[in-house]
Amino acid sequence: MDEKQQAVVSLLQQYRRTSRKIHIAPDIPERKLHNARKTCQIPDEETITALFDLTEWGSAKHCLVLCPQTLYYNAGAPGKFTLDEFLELPITPGLGAFKIGDRPISSSTDGLPNHVVVQCLADIQLIHKKGPDVDLANDPDRPFQPNVPALIAVSIGGLAILIGGSYILTLCDDDWDATKIGAVSMIVVGSSILLQTITGLLRAAKRKKPADQEK
């Protein structure tokens, strides 16, 4: 295993801590490994580095499989990219499915949301392009994939708190009492939530995409 592959495995281990559906060799459940090899048509002699289980119930029949020189997948039908092909393709996020190049691949399970897979794959691309020592957290070419549905849901909650606090405040007398203090607190909390979610969306919009994705 070369330095880039070691860096990729270290990256996957970080993602593994937050997603139970990312499996890294040799700790890939045998049943999932068998299903992935069969549905993605992976040769028995091919070494598997990691498996992204894209199924709801954990069968891994719908999956992405990372090998040293190939990325296999099954998204209703089997397919694959060589490593060189994968590194040159844009990864486009979406609500129902994301795309690698022009091929749609869906992962909408609770255990492995689309934005997590997209961010992980983009990070793998950067490691291969810029080397194992790339500072992913601060690299200007790293795309940022927010969990847009979650941000929208949180922002709606923040707006509801803000409106509720504002309404209660209109019912209060001029004197400061517990009700008025509570209403002001709701306004502050609601405003803070809205600010954080808007900042997250703006951050995503302003982040540069890798240069080869802008062509």
Tokens describing residue 22: 């990312």
Residue 50, both tokens:
């990691």
Q: Identify whether the C-beta of residue 169 lies closer than 8 Å to the C-beta of residue 41.
A: no
**What is d(CA 75, CA 106) in angstroms, rounded to the nearest whole number?**
7
**Mean of pLDDT values over 193-206:** 65
| CA-wise closest residue to 84 among 134, 117, 128, 122 | 128
- Measured distance CA(171)–CA(185) in Å, rounded: 15
- Indicate whether 27 pLDDT > 60: yes
Q: Is 133 helix (H, G, I), strand (E, B) or coil?
A: coil
**Dist. CA 156–CA 193, nearest whole Å:** 9
**pLDDT tens per residue, range 56-93:** 888 999 999 999 999 999 988 999 999 999 999 998 87
Cβ distance 182 to 168 under 8 Å? yes
Q: Which residue has the higher pLDDT, 210 or 101?
A: 101
Q: Sorting pLDDT into bands at 50, 70 and 90, what band is 96?
A: low
Highest mean pLDDT among 46-55, 113-122, 186-195: 46-55
Lowest mean pLDDT among 16-30, 56-70, 150-164: 150-164
Residue 205 pLDDT class (50, 70, 90 cuts): low
Q: 86 or 106, which is more confident?
A: 86
Over residues 3-10, mean pLDDT: 94
The pLDDT confidence band at residue 95, using thresholds 50, 70 and 90, is: low
**Whole-number average pLDDT of the chain:** 84
Q: How far apart are CA 121 and CA 115, in angstroms?
A: 10
Are 53 and 74 within 8 A, CB to CB? Answer: no
Q: What is the pTM of this model?
A: 0.68
Q: Please tell me the distance from the alpha carbon of residue 158 to that of residue 191, in angstroms, as a whole number.
A: 7
Q: How far apart are CA 17 and CA 30, in angstroms?
A: 20
pLDDT computed for residue 213 by the predictor:
38
- Residues near 158 by beta carbon (within 8 Å), at least 6 away in sequence: 189, 190, 191, 192, 193, 194, 197
Q: State the Cα–Cα distance between residues 197 and 145, nearest whole angstrom.
A: 13
Count of C-beta atoms within a 10 Å radius of residue 26: 7
